[in-house]
Amino acid sequence: MEDQQIATLLTSSAQFTPIPGFKITYGTAGFRANASVLSSTVFCAGILAALRSLKTGKMVGLMITASHNPIDDNGVKIADPSGGMMAQTWEPFADALVGFQSPEELVQLVLEFTKKEKISFGGPKSAVILLGRDTRPSGKSLLECAKRGIASIIGAVAINMGILTTPQLHWMVRCRNKDINASEYDYFKQLSKSFMSLVGLNPLKETTSSKPNSTLLIDAANGVGGEKLHEVKKSLMGIELQVRNSGKEGILNDGVGADFVQKEKVAPQGFGPSDVGMRCVSLDGDADRFVYFRVISTDSNKIDLIDGDKILSLFALFIKAQLNILQKMDDKGAGDQFVTRIGVVQTAYANGASTDYLRQLGLEVAFTPTGVKYLHEKAAEYDIGIYFEANGHGTILFSDTFLSMIEARVNEPMFSSTGSEYERAILRLVAVTQLINQAVGDALSGLLLVEAILQYMGWSIETWSKLYRDLPSRQLKIKVADRTAVITANAETQVVKPFGLQKMIDSETAKYTKGRCFIRPSGTEDVIRVYAEASTQEAVDTLAQSVGQIVGDILG
């Protein structure tokens, strides 16, 4: 069997000539580059996915997307059987594989790795890979490259799920490995059913001026999320989704989308002064992140941005409220103690005001290095783990222990779905576990959870925005000769090397009220990123520039 496998790999890889000098690495988002240079990379990713499936004995996913990147870019990433990111331990092999310079070298890499991982060809385990792509023009041809890579591993089967959001593919992989029906129809059905269930459990409140209206304006970034939202809205009641930038005329991620809105802090194309006061949300190109905003002026495109930090805070506030209801009843002897460890996970880029607010709620706050794979891994340590990056990528994870606890409560003989506030709190938590995408950040499920919570709270977007006041911040990029000269620790907040640099940053930061500053090397280019906060915008601009000057003097 091995001889047959070698022959197949030699034949298939001979059709994909690597580009001399082209280097690419597997980051948090997988491989990304201009689509014109990705054929060989995506072919290798097909091999990678097939081997991962053989190793685990379960389905894995392969998604063709470049998320918020420009339309000429594309990328590929692997979804593990859990629906999460590919195991980090496989990333070095992924980098080596895509760097092959000849068919013989590729075969040697595969044979050495499969021997190390004890992966056998032609054994009882089969490889099944679910494929998906977004709406980029290059997606169709690159998907064919992935299929060729998968087919080069004997016995591997590719199932094309069609044009999807990235979170949909991750969700499908997770569900199918749990023997749960996971077609696109099932995805839409679960979203609408759990949303309607959650809204139906809202307490009765008198109408107030702050109560959110039923209309949500959505910037779909001219990406795949637009067409999927049209399917979602068909089965929703009590909310009107108005989709703009659906891709029929505009260009993907060009002056639109969550990344543009979050970084530029202006309204995307198609939004403006006529939308003042309206609740707006912006997705990115593959709908795995989202941020809210409201246009604040009738004569400009300036916005009040509600980023991932405030989305996280809203989710945490709501879940904590439900747990408090359960705890109060348990304290009165209503049942066994409902013991739950809840934690929120952020990166150093989270605004300091959000961290202070979360701690005031009595929540445990943990920090990880930048990258969803680190946040997701840490969040999984809790009974309920909530993570978000400021860019709007995040989700909520529920442990099997917690899911068993609430299932046991629902199955108690005296439990009533129309009963006490205690029982309604249980059912709200059940609905949240079904609405949120626990595999990965998902803009569609996430925005529906936001909408349900705002209705529960009776809040307008303005009320939500006032949850806390962000500290002024500034980000800079400093060009350096070698970014690897900087080594950080403590979730990238402390410089270990060069020695003495952290002391200089601390000395400069101490000059400013509520000053906070850290630096970290870019993962893709020779620049050092500077992030700073202070009590005023003038102060933080000066702090960032001063630290940037220090970095430039030492490393330039």
Catalytic residue positions, numbered: 67
136 is in an annotated binding site: no
391 is in an annotated binding site: yes
Those residues whose C-beta lies under 8 Å from the C-beta of residue 276, and which sit 6 or more positions away, are 294, 295, 296, 297, 298
- 3-state SS string for 51-90: HHHHHHCCCEEEEECCCCCCCCEEEEEEECCCCCECCHHH
Give the closest residue to 137 by CA, choosing from 36, 270, 218: 36
Give the closest residue to 374 by CA, choosing from 77, 85, 170: 85
| Backbone dihedral angles phi then psi of residue 554, each to the nearest 5 degrees | -85, -40
389 is in an annotated binding site: yes
Farthest-apart Cα atoms in the chain, separation: 74
Residue 284: burial class (beta carbons within 10 Å; 0-12, 13-18, 19+)? buried
364 is in an annotated binding site: no
Strand order in the sheet with 473-479: 473-479, 527-533, 516-521
The stretches of 468-515 forming alpha helices (DSSP H) are 501-509
286 is in an annotated binding site: yes
523 is in an annotated binding site: yes
User: Do residues 295 and 301 touch, judged by C-beta distance below 8 A?
Assistant: yes
| Backbone dihedral angles phi then psi of residue 502, each to the nearest 5 degrees | -65, -40
521 is in an annotated binding site: yes
The stretches of 350-398 forming alpha helices (DSSP H) are 352-360, 372-379
Q: Cα–Cα distances in Å, from 516 out to 336, 366, 532? A: 44, 17, 6
Report how far apart the first and last C-alpha atoms of the chain are (Å, whole number).
Answer: 54
70 is in an annotated binding site: no
User: Do residues 529 and 522 touch, judged by C-beta distance below 8 A?
Assistant: yes
465 is in an annotated binding site: no
Tell me, what amino acid is at 467?
L
The stretches of 458-493 forming alpha helices (DSSP H) are 461-465
DSSP-derived 3-state class of residue 343: strand
- Token code pair at residue 372: 């969803």
83 is in an annotated binding site: no
Place of tokens 């000053």: 515
User: Do residues 53 and 114 touch, judged by C-beta distance below 8 A?
Assistant: no
- In the annotated binding site for Mg(2+), the residues are 67, 284, 286, 288
- In the annotated binding site for substrate, the residues are 389-391, 520-524, 529
